[in-house]
Structure 1
Amino acid sequence: MSNNISIDQPVIEPADFDKPRRPKQVLFKMLNQWLAETAARVTESWMSVCTHRIQLGAQSIEIVGDESARKSLPEEGYAIAISIGPEESTGFLCVEKTQLWMLLADLLDLNPDALPHDRSPTQTERSMLEILIEMYVSGLAAAWPGRGDLTCRFEELIERPHRKRISTAHSTWIKGTQTVTSRFGISEIFWLFPNSPIEEIVEDSVDSGTSSGSFTAGSLVHITEQIPFVVTVELGELSLSMTEITDLNIGDILLLDQSVHQPLSARIQGQNKWKGRPVRRGHQLAFQVSEVVSTPARSDILPLGQTD
């Protein structure tokens, strides 16, 4: 008696030496940047309309298989269908039902105890939720780390996607997880974007900025424009002796050299760039620019030690 054992042969894709695939590190670097920038942009957008503080944060990027993608669809939640890229590939932003009610509560300043978790949103409530969804999709498009915005469009809000036969005809998916911190606590939402179309967009984005392995002038300008700079807004200065410093305690007031009628200065790397005044945006302190400080031309800069 013989036992027949069937072993599936691995599928070996032919190598394309004319267009080799870039290392996965390039893909993950851009995806992580996209996830983080989307969180920052959506936080700013949602805070402009919500009555309570809400903040999104980037948590993780991973590549999952089709079966894992299907199982991760929320059973009692929603899948927000989004068309992505020039080929309009469909991806999903997945949220639990309670998370949508929390967003609606922060949008309308509702009492948390009055949230109707046991029913679906009415048409009016769905319309209001779609305002926040459109804001998210706009932030997703603008946050794309490649050249220009990525085409993204909100398609539909799908209730209980786990029970519906949503097409996931892709072998692998990009699962990007973000945290949502609000007055209700910390929860998670996540992307399910088809891997192959996104990887092709990344390839095209990287290839458009390089030529024969070297950067073009345009790509260098683009990279330079993405370099972050720390902007410091100075409230004022004062001098204290060591005794005064050690004696400082909670409730003590420090008198600064800045008059309340004088504009504040905003600096980059120690150089004055703008003058303005402090303002408030939602729950955050902000700085409104009232004057741009002109930078002296190179001919106006004297060598060290030289005077007029």
Structure 2
Amino acid sequence: MTDSVGFEPFDFRKPSGLPEAVDQRLLFWQRGLASLAPERWSQHMTTAVTMEHAARETMMMVEARRQLPDAGIGCRIDLGADALPTLIVFARPLLLALVGQVLGENLTQLPADRPLTTIEHTVSELLFEELAHAIGEAWPEQSPLDCCINGFDDKPQRSRMYPLGERVLLTRFDLNSAFGSQPVHWLSSQDQLIALLGQADDVGTPVAPPTDGPLQARAAEIPVQVIVRLGSAELHVSDLADLQVGDVILLDQKIDEPLEAHV
């Protein structure tokens, strides 16, 4: 077998990320959301909160569900004319605390986890409505994006909004309040967001037209060697001497495990 020293392993089980242009637009959008959401909430709350874009990762839906809080509440927010579904997830104690701020409660710490009352659920709808408006206003185009809430999920860890094998984007925002910093998650389909953001106008500094087209075309023709390890087997020298055409050698690679490739 060809020596693989010097090649960098690539894990084909890990989903690939976003195109650079889409990634920049999404970051611009989400940072705008982090700024606008607290502004809209401040109309209803007795104390101020801030929000920061913390992290974003591409993963399969089955893995994303494990990242969501055990005691959480999700709100489906549909984006655009095609009503692309996304899910905003709060830990329930955090949502109870925010609702308490709207109701004028004097809380000094996060409340214990419990189901929301009818009035608390109504107030939480108001907060999610404001969040949906902030998502639309932060949209990186001249006109805001139509966004609307479309139901709640009290078990987001079991959500089947997307197939378990679909690539999704899980974005984490840090919500800072009198109760410290708490995570808020935004779950969305990667392919649907790529399609949606691909329609948006460019933001930020205009990029000069590329001048290295011929060079890129030549680079695209350069062959790339991919070495795939099919497995291994131990044979005695005497076994090698007895090998004949048509003999079968069993490798140690299981059929239900992915192959290791080197590029």
TM-score interval for Structure 1 and Structure 2 normalised by the shorter chain = 0.5 to 0.7
Distance 2:64 2:142 in 1: 29
Structure 2 residue 146 is matched with structure 1 residue 166 = no
Moved over 4 A (4+): 113-116
1:82 maps to 2:88:
no
Q: Deviations over 1:141-165 (max 9, x none)?
A: 1101134112211011211222x45
Query: What count of residue pairs does the alignment treat as equivalent?
Result: 188
Whether contact under 8 Å (2:73, 2:89) holds in the other structure is yes
Distance 1:116 1:203, change over 3 A: closer
Q: Is the 8 A contact 1:28 1:61 kept in 2?
A: no
SS in 2 for 1:205: coil
Q: CA deviation at 1:116?
A: 5.3
Equivalent-residue separation in structure 2 for 1:96 and 1:62 (angstroms): 19
Q: CA separation of 1:35/1:114 partners in 2, compared to 1, >3 Å: closer, same or farther?
A: closer
Map residues 56-95 of structure 1 onto 2, 5 A cutoff.
56-95=51-90
Supply the RMSD in Å over aligned alpha carbons.
Answer: 2.4
1:49-128 residue pairs with structure 2 within 5 A?
Answer: 49-112=44-107, 117-128=112-123
Q: Which runs of 5+ in 2 are unaligned?
A: 1-11, 13-17, 203-207, 210-263
Among all aligned residue pairs of Structure 1 and Structure 2, give the percentage whose two residues are the same amino acid. 21
Provide the residue aligned with 1:217 in structure 2: none
Cα distance in structure 2, aligned partners of 1:54 and 1:116:
17
Indicate conservation of the 8 Å contact 2:52/2:174, yes or no.
yes
* Aligned match for 2:170, one of 164, 167, 175: 175
| Structure 1: runs of 5+ lacking an equivalent | 1-9, 11-22, 208-212, 215-308
Q: How does 1:286-305 map to 2 (within 5 A)?
A: none
The answer for the alignment partner of 2:189 in structure 1 is 194
Following the alignment from structure 1 to structure 2, what is the Cα–Cα distance between the partners of residues 46 and 127? 15
Cα distance change on mapping 1:202 and 1:186 into 2, 3 Å: same
Between the aligned partners of 1:206 and 1:50, the Cα distance in structure 2 is 34
Q: CA deviation at 1:117?
A: 2.4
Distance 2:161 2:33 in 1: 25
List per-residue Cα deviations over 1:170-221 (Å, max 9, x = no partner). 62112221111111111110110111111011112248xxxxx97xxxxxxx
Q: Which moved more, 1:164-173 or 1:87-96?
A: 164-173
- Show the 5 A alignment for 1:231-250: none
Give deviations 1:216-239, integer Å, cap 9, x for gaps: xxxxxxxxxxxxxxxxxxxxxxxx
In structure 1, the partner of 2:27 is 32
- Which of 71-80 and 180-189 deviates more? 71-80
Name the structure 1 match of 2:227.
none
What amino acid maps onto 1:36 in structure 2?
Answer: R
Give the whole-Å Cα distance in 2 for the aligned partners of 1:113 and 1:183: 7
2:172–2:183: 8 Å Cα contact kept in structure 1? yes
Q: Could you tell me whether the CA contact under 8 Å between 1:80 and 1:94 is conserved in 2?
A: yes
Cα distance change on mapping 1:145 and 1:107 into 2, 3 Å: same
Secondary structure of the corresponding residue to residue 54 of structure 2: strand
TM-score by length of 2: 0.65
Instruction: Specify whether residues 115 and 187 from structure 1 end up closer, same or farther in structure 2 by C-alpha distance, changes over 3 A only.
Output: closer
Larger RCO of the pair (alpha carbons < 8 Å, separation 6+): 2
On the 8 A contact 1:70/1:168 being kept in 2, the answer is no
| Letter aligned with residue 134 of structure 1 | E
Normalised to the residue count of structure 1, the TM-score between the two structures is: 0.56
| Cα pair 2:136 2:147 within 8 Å, conserved | yes
SS of corresponding position for 2:194:
helix
Looking at secondary structure, tell me which structure has more strand per residue: 1
Shift of residue 115 of structure 1?
A: 6.8
